[in-house]
Amino acid sequence: MKRKSLKLSFEYMDTPERRVLSLDADGVPCVPVLGFDAYRRQWRAAPIHVHDECVEISLCLRGNLEFEMGGKRYPFRPGNAIRAHGVSPWLSMRMNDNHNANEPKAWLHSKFWVEHPEYRKQGGFNYSIPAVQDYHFAFIEEMLARYDVDGFECDWMRWPIPQDPAALTAFMRRTRAAVDAAAKRRGHPILLGVRVSSRPAAALAKGMDVAAWAREKLVDWVVPANFFGSVDFDIPLGEWQKIVADAGSSALVVPCLDTGVITQDPTTKRRSPRRMLTLAEYCGWAGRMYERGAPGVYFFNLFTYFEAAYHVTDTTPWDFIVTRGLTPESIKGRPASIPANWWYEP
Protein backbone atom coordinates (compact mmCIF):
# COMPACT_ATOMS: atom_id res chain seq x y z
CA MET A 1 0.00 0.00 0.00
CA LYS A 2 1.34 3.43 -0.90
CA ARG A 3 2.19 5.47 2.17
CA LYS A 4 0.39 8.77 2.55
CA SER A 5 2.73 11.71 2.00
CA LEU A 6 4.00 13.45 5.10
CA LYS A 7 3.63 17.22 5.20
CA LEU A 8 5.32 19.87 7.26
CA SER A 9 3.61 23.20 7.73
CA PHE A 10 5.45 26.49 7.47
CA GLU A 11 2.78 28.43 9.37
CA TYR A 12 5.08 28.94 12.34
CA MET A 13 7.54 30.89 10.18
CA ASP A 14 6.93 34.62 10.34
CA THR A 15 8.91 35.42 7.19
CA PRO A 16 9.28 32.48 4.81
CA GLU A 17 12.09 34.16 2.88
CA ARG A 18 14.30 33.92 5.95
CA ARG A 19 13.45 30.33 6.71
CA VAL A 20 13.50 28.78 3.26
CA LEU A 21 16.30 28.79 0.73
CA SER A 22 13.98 28.98 -2.26
CA LEU A 23 14.85 28.59 -5.91
CA ASP A 24 11.17 28.35 -6.81
CA ALA A 25 11.46 31.06 -9.47
CA ASP A 26 13.97 28.83 -11.25
CA GLY A 27 11.76 25.78 -11.01
CA VAL A 28 13.73 24.15 -8.23
CA PRO A 29 11.84 22.92 -5.13
CA CYS A 30 12.46 24.85 -1.94
CA VAL A 31 14.93 23.58 0.60
CA PRO A 32 13.25 23.83 4.02
CA VAL A 33 15.18 24.86 7.08
CA LEU A 34 13.56 23.47 10.22
CA GLY A 35 14.23 24.23 13.86
CA PHE A 36 14.08 21.51 16.51
CA ASP A 37 11.57 23.31 18.72
CA ALA A 38 9.20 23.84 15.82
CA TYR A 39 9.12 20.31 14.50
CA ARG A 40 9.01 18.88 18.01
CA ARG A 41 5.81 20.82 18.69
CA GLN A 42 4.31 19.72 15.42
CA TRP A 43 5.22 16.03 15.55
CA ARG A 44 5.03 15.16 19.24
CA ALA A 45 1.62 13.52 18.89
CA ALA A 46 1.56 12.94 15.12
CA PRO A 47 0.56 9.31 14.52
CA ILE A 48 1.25 9.57 10.79
CA HIS A 49 4.97 9.23 11.44
CA VAL A 50 5.38 5.51 11.93
CA HIS A 51 9.03 4.75 11.12
CA ASP A 52 10.07 3.09 14.37
CA GLU A 53 13.71 3.02 13.29
CA CYS A 54 14.07 6.73 12.59
CA VAL A 55 16.45 8.58 14.87
CA GLU A 56 15.18 12.08 14.13
CA ILE A 57 12.08 13.15 12.29
CA SER A 58 13.94 16.13 10.87
CA LEU A 59 16.31 13.74 9.15
CA CYS A 60 13.74 11.20 7.99
CA LEU A 61 14.01 10.62 4.25
CA ARG A 62 11.77 7.59 4.06
CA GLY A 63 8.34 7.18 2.57
CA ASN A 64 7.04 10.01 0.38
CA LEU A 65 8.26 12.95 2.40
CA GLU A 66 7.20 16.28 0.95
CA PHE A 67 7.00 19.88 2.00
CA GLU A 68 4.17 22.31 1.44
CA MET A 69 4.48 26.08 1.13
CA GLY A 70 2.22 28.65 -0.46
CA GLY A 71 -0.26 25.99 -1.51
CA LYS A 72 2.40 24.07 -3.46
CA ARG A 73 3.80 20.66 -2.63
CA TYR A 74 7.49 19.90 -3.03
CA PRO A 75 8.58 16.26 -2.90
CA PHE A 76 12.11 15.62 -1.69
CA ARG A 77 13.83 14.33 -4.81
CA PRO A 78 17.48 15.38 -5.11
CA GLY A 79 18.83 14.77 -8.58
CA ASN A 80 19.04 16.33 -12.01
CA ALA A 81 16.52 19.12 -11.29
CA ILE A 82 18.90 20.44 -8.66
CA ARG A 83 22.07 19.80 -10.66
CA ALA A 84 20.68 21.83 -13.55
CA HIS A 85 20.98 24.90 -11.32
CA GLY A 86 24.55 24.27 -10.29
CA VAL A 87 23.71 22.65 -6.93
CA SER A 88 25.32 19.32 -6.10
CA PRO A 89 22.95 17.11 -4.04
CA TRP A 90 24.44 15.34 -1.03
CA LEU A 91 23.03 13.32 1.84
CA SER A 92 24.46 13.52 5.36
CA MET A 93 23.73 10.93 8.03
CA ARG A 94 24.22 11.48 11.74
CA MET A 95 26.03 8.32 12.71
CA ASN A 96 25.25 8.36 16.43
CA ASP A 97 22.64 10.97 17.26
CA ASN A 98 22.36 11.23 21.03
CA HIS A 99 19.62 13.77 21.64
CA ASN A 100 17.70 13.14 24.87
CA ALA A 101 19.83 10.14 25.85
CA ASN A 102 19.02 10.87 29.50
CA GLU A 103 15.30 10.56 28.77
CA PRO A 104 14.69 6.88 27.92
CA LYS A 105 11.03 7.54 27.11
CA ALA A 106 11.64 10.55 24.86
CA TRP A 107 9.55 10.42 21.70
CA LEU A 108 12.46 10.61 19.27
CA HIS A 109 14.33 7.46 20.29
CA SER A 110 14.34 4.65 17.77
CA LYS A 111 12.80 1.31 18.58
CA PHE A 112 16.25 -0.24 18.13
CA TRP A 113 17.74 2.08 20.77
CA VAL A 114 14.89 1.43 23.22
CA GLU A 115 14.97 -2.35 22.88
CA HIS A 116 18.77 -2.75 23.08
CA PRO A 117 20.29 -0.89 26.02
CA GLU A 118 23.16 -3.40 25.84
CA TYR A 119 24.18 -1.84 22.51
CA ARG A 120 24.63 1.63 24.01
CA LYS A 121 27.74 3.54 24.95
CA GLN A 122 27.54 6.91 26.72
CA GLY A 123 23.91 7.11 25.65
CA GLY A 124 24.59 6.43 21.99
CA PHE A 125 25.54 3.28 20.10
CA ASN A 126 28.67 1.17 20.37
CA TYR A 127 30.01 0.53 16.86
CA SER A 128 32.11 -2.41 18.07
CA ILE A 129 28.87 -4.41 18.08
CA PRO A 130 28.13 -5.95 14.65
CA ALA A 131 24.36 -5.47 15.03
CA VAL A 132 24.90 -1.73 15.51
CA GLN A 133 26.96 -1.52 12.35
CA ASP A 134 24.38 -3.54 10.42
CA TYR A 135 21.56 -1.30 11.64
CA HIS A 136 23.23 1.92 10.51
CA PHE A 137 24.59 0.46 7.30
CA ALA A 138 21.06 -0.54 6.28
CA PHE A 139 20.10 3.16 6.34
CA ILE A 140 23.05 4.02 4.12
CA GLU A 141 22.14 1.35 1.58
CA GLU A 142 18.51 2.47 1.58
CA MET A 143 19.34 6.14 1.04
CA LEU A 144 21.80 5.38 -1.74
CA ALA A 145 19.15 3.23 -3.42
CA ARG A 146 16.41 5.86 -3.10
CA TYR A 147 18.25 9.05 -3.96
CA ASP A 148 20.43 10.09 -6.88
CA VAL A 149 23.14 12.12 -5.13
CA ASP A 150 26.65 13.31 -5.84
CA GLY A 151 27.91 12.67 -2.34
CA PHE A 152 27.22 10.95 0.98
CA GLU A 153 28.54 12.12 4.34
CA CYS A 154 29.07 10.10 7.50
CA ASP A 155 28.69 12.67 10.28
CA TRP A 156 30.70 11.21 13.16
CA MET A 157 30.28 14.45 15.13
CA ARG A 158 26.69 13.69 16.07
CA TRP A 159 27.71 12.42 18.59
CA PRO A 160 31.52 12.09 18.92
CA ILE A 161 31.23 9.16 21.31
CA PRO A 162 34.60 7.37 21.63
CA GLN A 163 34.73 4.23 19.50
CA ASP A 164 37.22 1.54 18.59
CA PRO A 165 39.18 2.89 15.58
CA ALA A 166 39.26 -0.56 14.00
CA ALA A 167 35.48 -0.79 14.19
CA LEU A 168 34.93 2.61 12.55
CA THR A 169 37.49 1.87 9.84
CA ALA A 170 35.77 -1.44 9.07
CA PHE A 171 32.47 0.43 8.83
CA MET A 172 34.01 3.06 6.53
CA ARG A 173 35.31 0.30 4.23
CA ARG A 174 31.82 -1.09 4.00
CA THR A 175 30.37 2.35 3.33
CA ARG A 176 32.96 3.10 0.62
CA ALA A 177 32.00 -0.14 -1.14
CA ALA A 178 28.31 0.78 -0.97
CA VAL A 179 28.98 4.29 -2.32
CA ASP A 180 31.08 2.92 -5.18
CA ALA A 181 28.38 0.38 -6.05
CA ALA A 182 25.76 3.16 -6.09
CA ALA A 183 28.01 5.26 -8.32
CA LYS A 184 28.28 2.39 -10.78
CA ARG A 185 24.49 1.98 -10.85
CA ARG A 186 23.91 5.71 -11.31
CA GLY A 187 26.60 6.13 -13.93
CA HIS A 188 28.38 9.02 -12.23
CA PRO A 189 30.86 9.48 -9.34
CA ILE A 190 29.56 9.69 -5.77
CA LEU A 191 31.91 11.19 -3.21
CA LEU A 192 32.19 10.05 0.40
CA GLY A 193 32.79 12.61 3.13
CA VAL A 194 33.25 12.49 6.90
CA ARG A 195 32.66 15.11 9.56
CA VAL A 196 35.16 14.66 12.40
CA SER A 197 36.57 16.41 15.47
CA SER A 198 38.34 19.68 14.67
CA ARG A 199 41.70 18.58 16.10
CA PRO A 200 43.47 15.46 14.74
CA ALA A 201 44.42 14.08 18.17
CA ALA A 202 40.85 14.47 19.44
CA ALA A 203 39.46 12.79 16.34
CA LEU A 204 41.77 9.79 16.71
CA ALA A 205 40.95 9.53 20.43
CA LYS A 206 37.32 9.06 19.42
CA GLY A 207 38.10 6.37 16.89
CA MET A 208 38.07 8.62 13.80
CA ASP A 209 41.29 7.39 12.20
CA VAL A 210 41.36 9.82 9.29
CA ALA A 211 44.93 8.88 8.37
CA ALA A 212 43.89 5.24 7.88
CA TRP A 213 40.80 6.27 5.93
CA ALA A 214 42.93 8.47 3.69
CA ARG A 215 45.55 5.73 3.15
CA GLU A 216 42.86 3.30 2.06
CA LYS A 217 41.22 5.94 -0.18
CA LEU A 218 37.98 5.56 1.77
CA VAL A 219 37.14 9.28 1.89
CA ASP A 220 37.04 12.16 -0.57
CA TRP A 221 36.15 14.94 1.89
CA VAL A 222 37.32 15.49 5.46
CA VAL A 223 35.39 18.08 7.47
CA PRO A 224 37.02 19.05 10.80
CA ALA A 225 34.36 20.53 13.07
CA ASN A 226 33.62 21.58 16.61
CA PHE A 227 30.83 19.96 18.57
CA PHE A 228 28.15 22.51 19.51
CA GLY A 229 29.38 24.65 22.44
CA SER A 230 31.90 27.07 21.01
CA VAL A 231 33.32 27.35 17.51
CA ASP A 232 36.95 26.34 17.07
CA PHE A 233 38.59 29.48 15.66
CA ASP A 234 41.94 27.73 15.43
CA ILE A 235 41.31 24.56 13.42
CA PRO A 236 44.82 23.33 12.43
CA LEU A 237 44.05 23.09 8.75
CA GLY A 238 47.70 22.66 7.79
CA GLU A 239 48.02 19.68 10.11
CA TRP A 240 44.94 18.09 8.61
CA GLN A 241 46.16 18.72 5.07
CA LYS A 242 49.51 17.11 5.91
CA ILE A 243 47.82 14.03 7.38
CA VAL A 244 45.83 13.57 4.19
CA ALA A 245 48.77 14.29 1.88
CA ASP A 246 51.16 12.01 3.80
CA ALA A 247 48.62 9.23 3.37
CA GLY A 248 48.80 9.67 -0.40
CA SER A 249 45.24 10.95 -0.62
CA SER A 250 43.80 13.86 -2.59
CA ALA A 251 40.83 14.26 -0.24
CA LEU A 252 39.68 17.82 0.33
CA VAL A 253 39.85 19.23 3.85
CA VAL A 254 36.94 21.62 4.41
CA PRO A 255 36.66 23.33 7.84
CA CYS A 256 33.29 23.50 9.56
CA LEU A 257 31.74 25.68 12.24
CA ASP A 258 28.61 25.55 14.36
CA THR A 259 26.65 28.70 15.15
CA GLY A 260 27.63 29.62 18.70
CA VAL A 261 30.45 30.85 20.87
CA ILE A 262 31.30 30.86 24.57
CA THR A 263 33.63 33.75 25.30
CA GLN A 264 36.15 33.74 28.12
CA ASP A 265 37.80 36.68 29.86
CA PRO A 266 41.58 36.21 29.41
CA THR A 267 42.26 37.48 32.94
CA THR A 268 39.48 36.16 35.12
CA LYS A 269 38.76 33.10 32.93
CA ARG A 270 35.08 33.80 33.50
CA ARG A 271 32.95 32.31 30.74
CA SER A 272 29.88 33.79 29.12
CA PRO A 273 26.70 31.87 28.36
CA ARG A 274 26.66 30.43 24.86
CA ARG A 275 25.44 32.94 22.29
CA MET A 276 25.08 33.03 18.53
CA LEU A 277 27.99 34.21 16.42
CA THR A 278 27.98 37.74 15.04
CA LEU A 279 28.57 38.38 11.36
CA ALA A 280 32.00 39.84 12.21
CA GLU A 281 32.88 36.57 14.00
CA TYR A 282 31.73 34.52 11.01
CA CYS A 283 33.94 36.67 8.80
CA GLY A 284 36.86 36.40 11.23
CA TRP A 285 36.63 32.61 11.35
CA ALA A 286 36.23 32.27 7.57
CA GLY A 287 39.06 34.71 6.87
CA ARG A 288 41.43 32.71 9.06
CA MET A 289 40.41 29.44 7.41
CA TYR A 290 40.96 30.86 3.91
CA GLU A 291 44.37 32.15 4.98
CA ARG A 292 45.20 28.57 5.98
CA GLY A 293 44.27 27.24 2.57
CA ALA A 294 40.63 26.20 2.97
CA PRO A 295 38.98 25.38 -0.39
CA GLY A 296 35.62 26.41 1.11
CA VAL A 297 33.73 26.44 4.40
CA TYR A 298 31.00 24.21 5.82
CA PHE A 299 28.07 25.44 7.91
CA PHE A 300 26.46 23.25 10.55
CA ASN A 301 23.17 24.00 12.32
CA LEU A 302 22.77 27.38 10.63
CA PHE A 303 19.00 26.99 10.85
CA THR A 304 19.18 27.21 14.65
CA TYR A 305 19.19 30.98 14.34
CA PHE A 306 15.42 30.58 14.49
CA GLU A 307 15.07 28.19 17.39
CA ALA A 308 13.13 29.75 20.22
CA ALA A 309 15.77 28.89 22.83
CA TYR A 310 18.26 31.37 21.39
CA HIS A 311 15.99 34.45 21.35
CA VAL A 312 17.78 35.81 18.30
CA THR A 313 16.73 39.30 17.26
CA ASP A 314 19.60 40.11 14.90
CA THR A 315 19.37 37.97 11.77
CA THR A 316 22.15 39.80 9.93
CA PRO A 317 24.46 36.74 9.81
CA TRP A 318 21.69 34.55 8.37
CA ASP A 319 20.63 37.14 5.81
CA PHE A 320 24.21 37.73 4.69
CA ILE A 321 25.21 34.07 4.47
CA VAL A 322 22.17 32.82 2.56
CA THR A 323 22.31 35.67 0.05
CA ARG A 324 26.06 36.21 -0.38
CA GLY A 325 27.75 33.19 1.12
CA LEU A 326 30.94 33.33 3.17
CA THR A 327 33.47 33.42 0.36
CA PRO A 328 36.81 35.25 0.18
CA GLU A 329 35.10 37.80 -2.07
CA SER A 330 32.02 38.37 0.10
CA ILE A 331 34.00 38.91 3.32
CA LYS A 332 36.72 41.08 1.79
CA GLY A 333 36.88 44.44 3.54
CA ARG A 334 34.16 43.54 6.04
CA PRO A 335 34.61 43.88 9.83
CA ALA A 336 36.09 40.67 11.23
CA SER A 337 36.75 39.55 14.78
CA ILE A 338 38.00 36.47 16.60
CA PRO A 339 36.86 36.48 20.24
CA ALA A 340 38.75 35.07 23.21
CA ASN A 341 36.57 32.02 23.30
CA TRP A 342 36.39 28.95 25.48
CA TRP A 343 36.66 25.98 23.18
CA TYR A 344 36.37 22.39 24.27
CA GLU A 345 36.30 18.95 22.75
CA PRO A 346 33.70 16.72 24.44
Average per-residue pLDDT for the chain: 79
Q: What pLDDT, on the 0 to 100 scale, is given for residue 344? A: 74
At 14 the pLDDT is 31
Query: Is the peptide bond preceding residue 90 cis, with omega within 30 degrees of 0?
Result: no
The full length of the chain comes to: 346
User: Quick one: residue 116, left, alpha or beta (phi over 0 = left, psi -120 to 50 = alpha)?
Assistant: beta
Cα pseudo-dihedral 217, 223, 226, 228, rounded to 10: -110
Q: Band the pLDDT of 78: cuts 50, 70, 90.
A: low
Identify the pLDDT of residue 168. Answer: 98
Residue 162's closest CA among 131, 216, 220, 201? 201
CA angle at 335 for the pair 14 and 253, rounded to the nearest 5°: 85
Mean pLDDT check: name the lowest of 11-20, 169-178, 229-238. 11-20
pLDDT at 102 over 70: yes
Question: What average pLDDT does this structure show over 261-278?
Answer: 91
- Quick one: which of 140, 31, 153 has its CA closest to 81? 31
Q: How far apart are CA 242 and CA 40, in angstroms?
A: 42
Give CA–CA dist 88/252, Å, rounded.
Answer: 16
Q: pLDDT band at 203, cuts 50/70/90?
A: very high
Q: Residues with Cβ < 8 Å from 116, sequence gap 6 or more?
A: 131
Q: Would you place residue 175 in the very low, low, confident or very high pLDDT band (cuts 50, 70, 90)?
A: very high
pLDDT at 56: 34
Q: Within 10 A of 42 (CB to CB), how many other CB atoms are there?
A: 16
Q: How confident is the model at residue 86 (pLDDT cuts 50, 70, 90)?
A: confident
Map out the domains of the chain as residue ranges. 1-78, 79-331
Q: Measure the CA dihedral 6/195/260/280, to 10°.
A: -110
Percent of the chain with pLDDT over 90: 55
Provide long-range contacts, Cβ within 8 A and 24+ apart, for 233-238: 233/284, 233/285, 233/288, 233/338, 233/339, 233/341, 233/343, 234/288, 234/343, 235/198, 235/199, 235/289, 235/292, 236/199, 236/200, 237/289, 237/292, 237/293, 237/294, 238/292, 238/293
Structure pTM? 0.81
* Cβ atoms within 10 Å of 28's Cβ, excluding its own: 17
Higher-confidence residue of 274 and 52: namely: 274
Residue 244 has a pLDDT of 98
Give the chain's radius of gyration (CA, Å).
20
What local confidence, expressed as pLDDT, does residue 75 receive?
54
Of 29-38, 90-99, 206-215, 218-227, the poorest mean pLDDT is in 29-38
Q: Assign 3 a pLDDT band (cuts: 50, 70, 90).
A: very low
Q: What is the CATH class of 79-331?
A: alpha beta
User: pLDDT digit string (tens) for 305-326?
Assistant: 766 566 677 778 988 988 888 9
Contact assessment for residue 93 and residue 154, using Cβ atoms and an 8 Å cutoff: yes
User: Per 3-state DSSP, what percentage of the chain is helix, strand, and coil (rounded to 5)?
Assistant: 35, 15, 45
DSSP letter for 130, please.
Answer: H
Of 83-87, 103-107, 136-140, 158-162, give the lowest mean pLDDT range: 83-87
> What does the pLDDT read at residue 40?
36
Residues 6 or more apart whose Cβ sits within 8 Å of residue 321: 282, 299, 302
Does the structure show a pLDDT above 80 at 7? Answer: no
pLDDT band at 20 (very low <50, low <70, confident <90, very high): very low
